Amino acid sequence: VLTRGRHSYTFDILFSDIVEPVAVVYGTTFPLFVYSALHYLVIKPYLNKKRAEDTAAKAEELSAWLETQREEARGAITLMKESYHKIVNIEQGKGGLIVMQAWYGVFGSANKLID
């Protein structure tokens, strides 16, 4: 039934005067079987392969990005080393305080208060 405005259209489709079991099987079960077979034998493996390729490409891209970030960090460290040694020598000459290691955050169990 198709309704548009105040008009209504009815399309009666009659395939046969009698219901034949063979026709029902060919009309319902067979297409369902073909669809299931195509889905599990063709479509699903293709989508899984595509997903694996996309994941591998993203992993490669992330690996390359991470390597560039590491190289930039190494470059920054080498640039800061000279300045660091200069500051340490100045502080040692004055007998000043040099912080060798600093830890931040809460240490211990979550239920225990730390002063």
Q: For residues 52 and 60, what is the distance between their CA atoms, to the nearest angstrom?
A: 12
Collect all residues with Cβ–Cβ distance below 8 Å to 96 and sequence separation of at least 6: 90
pTM of structure: 0.50
In the prediction, which pLDDT does 91 show?
Answer: 92
pLDDT tens column, 44-69: 999 999 999 999 999 999 999 999 99
**What's the 3-state SS for 45-100?**
HHHHHHHHHHHHHHHHHHHHHHHHHHHHHHHHHHHHHHHHHHHHHHHHHHCCCCCC
